[in-house]
Structure 1
Amino acid sequence: MSVLPAASRTQRVHSQRGTLAVLSALAFLALLVFAAAGLAGSVPVPLADVPQALSSLIVGDPSGMSATLLDLRLGRASSAFATGAALALAGVMMQALVRNPLADPYVLGVSAGAAVGALAALLFGAALWMVDLGALAGAVGISLLLYLLARRDLGGGRGAVRTGESGVLLLTGVMLASACMALVTLMLSVAPESRLRGMVFWMIGDLAGSGWRLLPWIVLLAAVLLALRRARALNVMALHADAAVALGVDVAAQRRFLFLCSGLLTACAVTSGGSIGFVGLVVPHACRHAFGPDHRILLPAASLVGGSFLLLADTLARTVLAPQQLPVGVLTSLIGVPVFLFQLHQLHLRRR
């Protein structure tokens, strides 16, 4: 009788060690990408100057060319990593919410609402901080409207709680996104030539104006910690959707948490970098394929991989044709489309 508990404890220890090893490797990879982002550019930073430049940054006096370049690049890298991690984490949550592996953070129209707010500010020549505020206000406004229109589908209805289906939620999000995109098209059609380029770059996704920002990191870390506390419940919902209530899971509360948290993460990401596509779709798929469906490892792994992926794409965007910079959303799409098609092909082969 005592062999089974001992075996179970041993298996749990091995599982925890495996999880720690995977996350440590991903964290080390993220540090390497950060280092590459700080050193690479149209004017490279010599390795010999890095210690002195880092010490200048630590004391808060970035004097000298190398320290100034490192400060600018690491600030942009910090914003890029937080944005990518937020999109990937929101993608995992959105797929768990609607029980559809093809869902991404933009499926409910949060990004479209942010686009309306940001482009309206750009159309009227507002300052950069007002553009960010407009994007955040648009994303939060659409999220609140969607919650009011589909609150029963988020756990109030008996059928939604039992099966986890989100038909009304998805259809409402698609309709709101269509209305927002109509407003976006209207603003682009009447925008003057002097402001049209900036509006188009924002729509594609661009991190050129980003720097050191604390709020996205606070939201990201809080979301990861809260989601990890609910990881077991999310596993039950994913594997035993019909019996989740009988197994003691408050499905309605979990679905509301997933909706609100993914909406807030998407709002912060879109505010920082615009509408950057494919990160929240491809990264959760790749992590689920590599590490399995257990949310206890999937949530932090997707955050680390998503942040590293977007940071690497942004580094390429500003170095491939340096000194000219490309919108990072173009590179994430060019990388994401073939990767996603390859994943679908592999999934099709496994199901044969």
Structure 2
Amino acid sequence: MSSPLPIALFAMNPVHLPELFPPRLMTRLQELVRIDPALVVRDFSDPAAAATLARAEVLVTGWGCPPVDARVLAAAPRLRTVLHAAGSVRHLVGEAFWDRGLTLSSAVEANALPVAEYTLAAILLAGKDAFGLRERFRSERVHPGPTDYATVGNLGRRVGIVGASRVGRRVLELLRPFDLSVSLYDPYVDAAEAAVLGAAPLPLDELLRTSDIVSVHAPDTPETHHMLSRERLALLPDGGVLINTSRGALIDHTALTEELVSGRISAVLDVTDPEPLPADSPLHRLPNVFLTPHIAGSLGNELARLGGTVVAELERMAAGLPLAHPVHRTTLANSA
């Protein structure tokens, strides 16, 4: 006789559930755990969730999930694991979670894929000066002359990657087929590992000074707050392009705004500080700023990739295998 399926509970903003778990994935999920798609918790103190939480062995979490703190853990004595159908888990669990010896998985790797794809597109378009030439074409309604293309092109373009995070590593992988000169700054990556990743290791200041295009992929931690300071932004060469798909707080936005208003550099910004920007921010209007509303991460049909990661983890658990994408207490401080 087969053992009963473990009981699981959704905890997230329910608006995301249909895209994270479309019918095919929801069917497979319910073959692996007993879970009610109509019960999606946004507040663990909700009496409607108390009985299920008390019996749950698995929490399937996502954007909008409240912290799994000591109070929640006390109400969930049978809980064994949390499977997060999103990226960052830094604010999801605390010391009480780790002290109880629970396991945690994140779909951060799956979420890194569309961010890296957005970044690759931004790098290649920036190398062709597509953003600047589009603005000029829209304004003047005539094609630029041949001399206007003297500095355009991706052959040998110098690209600097700040941070060998999961996104940063995926970007480096995607850049390999192109004729680019790629450098990397990451204090946790040595020269041998950088070579494997296909990049030349450089100190941050040297990377900024010698790159035509800089793309930021470091985690948002106290150590990285405003890592691109006024002094470091000044190191970017005239005509350089800064791409940020990580977090706005990594850059001193007052200094960045001044640089962009001056026209000395350009930027592709999917994240800002604050987010969203005030309506009167000049970044909304500058021709040398390509601003998008935090769309690089998983959206629309890409969310199913995150739900698929949760389903795959449950399949591994059912087979007695360890989690494929575990989050460990020791590495969480340096994670996004």
| Fold-level similarity (TM above 0.5) | no
Per the normalisation by structure 2, the TM-score is 0.31
Which is bigger in relative contact order (C-alpha 8 A, separation at least 6)?
1
User: Whose strand proportion is higher, 1 or 2?
Assistant: 2
Larger radius of gyration: 2
User: Whose helix proportion is higher, 1 or 2?
Assistant: 1
